[in-house]
Structure 1
Amino acid sequence: MKHPFLPVALSLLAVPAAAQETFDATLAGHAYLPALSLVAPPADAPKDAWISGKFTGGARNGVPMSVPGDTGGLHGKRLTGLNLPFIGQPLQGFSGFAMNRAEDGSVYVLTDNGFGSKANSPDTLLFFSRMDADFDTGEVEIKETVFLHDPDFKVPFRISYGGTDSRYLTGADFDLESIQRVGDSIWIGEEFGPYLIEATLDGRIKGVYPTMVDGVQLKGPDTPGISATSVKGTDWTVPRSGGYEGMALQPETGLLWAMLEKPLLAASGENEGDFLRVMVFDPEARDWTGEGFKFKLVEGATAIGDFNFIDETRALVIERDNGEGEPSLKCAGDPQADCFPNPAMVKHVVLIDTADVDAEGYVRRIGQIDLMNIADPEGKARIETDGGEAGRFSLPFFTIEDVMRVDETHIMVAVDNNLPFSSGRKLDAAADNEVVLLSVPELLAAQ
């Protein structure tokens, strides 16, 4: 097996990883699914799944809509106007687009694991959907929702609903973050393992594959079997919420390129550097190839949101910081209801060339667009932004986790709204599941 982080192709004349151009982006369409959009669990799911979010306050609370959601300490604990627990399962949290569409042209989209952690999401079912965004009407249609289930006991550890006949998966089992369709299989990258999961098109689990590096499993603090006395940087090297946020399907080879959301940890317990690892998995062989590269984050960025190829070698990556809200409304002092203490600053879609990797393993960044500075000359924005300005559109959200090429001049980007904990566009309202169409001809043509 090759060393896992040797470059796929060396280029002695490669442009340095940080050298790039920022291209213009224009809003071509704006649609959204309202934040409080719920779906019924399957008929054979446990009754427990009918009320979701019962554990978000620590102790169990089964009284629907009784606990106000807020933005948390990082963002000033502003109320978002929605209360937990929910009756039904939230459609919230778009967390990955598949490059290959369904037969009817709809887009496979993944919903995040629930309410942000393993501990508070055992009553949240895991699923993917087929989605259509109508940019003429501004509506997002969910054409089908497919719940993941494990009747064949392919998951190698006990699951939350393991004592039921249906064995539906929950947010206490996996944290789903990236999705691709390969033939008749859905492949999902997740963060607790980190694992790759293979499922049928109707959600039946076919396999769960740990991340192997030179015969050793890569683990995080939420990997089953990791104890409370484990040593950070030794027993586990993937930080919490640092697994496979992006996973791209390469058209020419059919390989899956899985990108970690955050830097790995060194033996000291600190980040090994300001870059993210990308590792290659062969879905036909169902094994890691040993190939990969490094993606260098720009200053201020903390994570990525999605990763998708646009041709045989070039790919799009969402790069972000942890901020939300317009910088014009940054709090001058202590957090208040009318300001954002940690506004959005670094929100990019980056174009990379996976065939151009330097001698140190860094992939070349060709260029980027700024998701905080999108031209909107025709006024296509459908939701007013607190602190925004006329003619400029932005995506001032904590997590932006979906990107894909639509055609030669357009890409589509969508938001993970962390229901009901994130706002961004509004100071006092939970973020919707926004889907935007962007005209970016210069970015897509860049080499």
Structure 2
Amino acid sequence: MINRLLLSSLALLPLAGAASAEERFPARLSGHAVLPALSLVAPPADAPRDAWTSGKFTGAARNDRPMTVMGDTGASHGKRATGISLPFLGQPLQGFSGFAMQRAEDGSIYALTDNGFGTKANSPDALLFFHRLTPDFETGAVELHETVFLHDPDRKAPFRIAYEGTDSRYLTGADFDPESIQLLDGELWIGEEFGPWLIRADLDGRVTGVFATRQGGTELRSPDNAALKIPAEAGVDYTVARSGGFEGMALQPGSNLLWAMLEKPLLGSNGAPAGNFLTVLAFDPAKEEWTGDSFKFALAEGATAIGDFNFIDETRALVIERDNGEGDPSLKCAGEPAADCFPDPAMLKRVVLIDTATRDAEGFVRRIGHIDLMDIEDPEGLNRLPTAANRDLAGKMTFPFFTIEDVMRVDETHILVANDNNLPYSSGRDLDAAAQNEFILLSVPELLSAK
């Protein structure tokens, strides 16, 4: 792709903003594995026939003709074609939205796929599932060991699901938007955005519980909560922003509490964000109840959301913090969006280390420091994919994706980070191709040892 001289490098670097005082640590690429963007899986044999073609409702009208409508990056990102068309024959594996801290017995990673195509309305034929997978950094491939489909035969969902009248009752992206996952005592806990709800399921994907979100005795709802009636007023009928539910949910070692982090700030009574911070609520899986404990995570200037949240010990945790941009900042459009530029490039993509044991008088946890995912050292040239850029990226790797939604500690010096590629809507590394599913192993000893 384009690799020319760096243009106005100082003007294009991300600003530290409100978090400028915290320390920035280096990150070095130790491995890179890629699952191709167009990776599909067959639905279960007993799934409704409707599920064998997914993405039929992503346009203005129903479309039953596979691979006939080109995906694009959407108006905010220039509406560039991504080279992959809908609907799909089968279910796309795209959209890894969370890693469990605990691994499976064979050492593989539990990874979650999100709701399908981005909204409740356009995903009724997108099945919900999780995987066991292993990135192979020697070969650069990602081995998919198992895909497990979520289903609700015991009618735990407190509303009518899309496949209500079927025997199998597989869940879809019109029912839930799963964004975070944890393994505890042989069960899986899933945080989602539409309710927001917490979902408990066994390792076969059978839902065994669905829990509403409560803070101080009040149920928190988003505009996609099935209990809401139209019209619903922001700040009154719901206080969780659309796509602002549980993006991250961390399992705390020792206490075995689940800490669920909202993706966006809560809404005040006027319907506007109540502040530039995210609320994190504690849930006790043993008692199946919210504990009442919570803390606040302050967003840095320029950050709009988080992507994942996982503890590395009993008190310290990693949080992916991001803006809404994608693509290298050296290709920022000078004027109107065009085919050869990014109108809203990636500027702030970080992994932040926080100390949950240290909170100020207002309940804000301490931000210890961060690494910059747009400035990763790669002296060995381990990056397997070229990046569209108008600057020299020799010896560097960037992770210029809209949604980066997976982080976990691997060992005392390494973390694993992956993206949600929003197939077929996001690009990032290329101007005219859908983003791949990328897994990067990062050496970050200074970050992980920081106190």
TM-score (norm 1): 0.96
Q: Report the equivalent of 2:269.
A: 267
Q: Report the equivalent of 2:363.
A: 361
**Given that residues 410 and 437 in structure 1 are in contact (C-alpha distance below 8 angstroms), is that contact kept between their aligned partners in structure 2?**
yes
1:409 aligns with 2:413: yes
Q: Report the equivalent of 2:201.
A: 199
Name the CA distance, whole Å, in 1 between partners of 2:185 and 2:21: 37
Secondary structure of the residue aligned to 2:308 is strand
Name the CA distance, whole Å, in 2 between partners of 1:402 and 1:160: 28
User: What is the 5 A alignment of 1:383-402?
Assistant: 383-387=385-389, 389-402=393-406
Match of 2:435 among 431, 435, 442: 431
Shift of 1:330: 0.3
| 1:343-373 residue CA offsets vs partner (Å, 9 max, x unmatched) | 0000000000000011110000000000000
Name the CA distance, whole Å, in 2 between partners of 1:77 and 1:228: 31
Shift of 1:252: 1.1
**Given that residues 17 and 364 in structure 1 are in contact (C-alpha distance below 8 angstroms), is that contact kept between their aligned partners in structure 2?**
no
Secondary structure of the residue aligned to 2:210 is strand
Name the CA distance, whole Å, in 2 between partners of 1:125 and 1:190: 15
Name the CA distance, whole Å, in 1 between partners of 2:385 and 2:92: 21
Match of 1:256 among 252, 255, 258: 258
State the percentage of identical aligned residues: 71
| Runs of 4+, deviation exceeding 2 Å | 16-19
**Given that residues 52 and 85 in structure 1 are in contact (C-alpha distance below 8 angstroms), is that contact kept between their aligned partners in structure 2?**
yes
Q: Report the equivalent of 2:422.
A: 418
Shift of 1:228: 2.2
Q: Report the equivalent of 2:6.
A: none
Name the CA distance, whole Å, in 1 between partners of 2:29 and 2:245: 31
User: What is the 5 A alignment of 1:151-300?
Assistant: 151-300=153-302
Shift of 1:227: 2.0
User: What is the 5 A alignment of 1:275-354?
Assistant: 275-354=277-356
| 1:218-243 residue CA offsets vs partner (Å, 9 max, x unmatched) | 00100002122111110000000000
Shift of 1:17: 7.3
Name the CA distance, whole Å, in 2 between partners of 1:410 and 1:111: 23
Q: Report the equivalent of 2:445.
A: 441
**Given that residues 19 and 301 in structure 2 are in contact (C-alpha distance below 8 angstroms), is that contact kept between their aligned partners in structure 1?**
no
Shift of 1:214: 2.3
Q: Report the equivalent of 1:13.
A: none
Amino acid at match of 1:235: D
Amino acid at match of 1:145: T
**Given that residues 19 and 366 in structure 1 are in contact (C-alpha distance below 8 angstroms), is that contact kept between their aligned partners in structure 2?**
no
1:371 aligns with 2:390: no
Name the CA distance, whole Å, in 2 between partners of 1:230 and 1:109: 34
Name the CA distance, whole Å, in 2 between partners of 1:415 and 1:446: 25
Q: Could you tell which deviates more after superposition, 381-390 or 64-73?
A: 381-390
Q: Report the equivalent of 1:5.
A: none
Q: Report the equivalent of 2:105.
A: 103
| 1:126-164 residue CA offsets vs partner (Å, 9 max, x unmatched) | 000001000000001110000000011111100000110
Q: Could you tell which deviates more after superposition, 37-46 or 383-392?
A: 383-392
Name the CA distance, whole Å, in 2 between partners of 1:214 and 1:428: 48
Shift of 1:18: 6.5
**Given that residues 17 and 363 in structure 1 are in contact (C-alpha distance below 8 angstroms), is that contact kept between their aligned partners in structure 2?**
no
Name the CA distance, whole Å, in 1 between partners of 2:331 and 2:233: 41
Cα pair distance change 1:119/1:239, threshold 3 Å: same
**Given that residues 18 and 296 in structure 1 are in contact (C-alpha distance below 8 angstroms), is that contact kept between their aligned partners in structure 2?**
no
**Given that residues 19 and 300 in structure 2 are in contact (C-alpha distance below 8 angstroms), is that contact kept between their aligned partners in structure 1?**
no
Shift of 1:19: 3.5
Name the CA distance, whole Å, in 1 between partners of 2:21 and 2:293: 24
Q: Which runs of 5+ in 1 are unaligned?
A: 1-15
Q: Report the equivalent of 1:8.
A: none
| 1:307-330 residue CA offsets vs partner (Å, 9 max, x unmatched) | 000001000000000000000000
| 1:272-326 residue CA offsets vs partner (Å, 9 max, x unmatched) | 0000000000011010000010000000000000000000100000000000000
1:57 aligns with 2:47: no
Secondary structure of the residue aligned to 1:211 is strand
| 1:207-226 residue CA offsets vs partner (Å, 9 max, x unmatched) | 00000122221001000021
Shift of 1:20: 1.1
Name the CA distance, whole Å, in 2 between partners of 1:216 and 1:366: 32
Secondary structure of the residue aligned to 2:50 is helix
TM-score (norm 2): 0.95
Name the CA distance, whole Å, in 1 between partners of 2:91 and 2:401: 22
Match of 1:87 among 89, 111, 127: 89
Name the CA distance, whole Å, in 1 between partners of 2:142 and 2:431: 23
**Given that residues 58 and 120 in structure 1 are in contact (C-alpha distance below 8 angstroms), is that contact kept between their aligned partners in structure 2?**
no
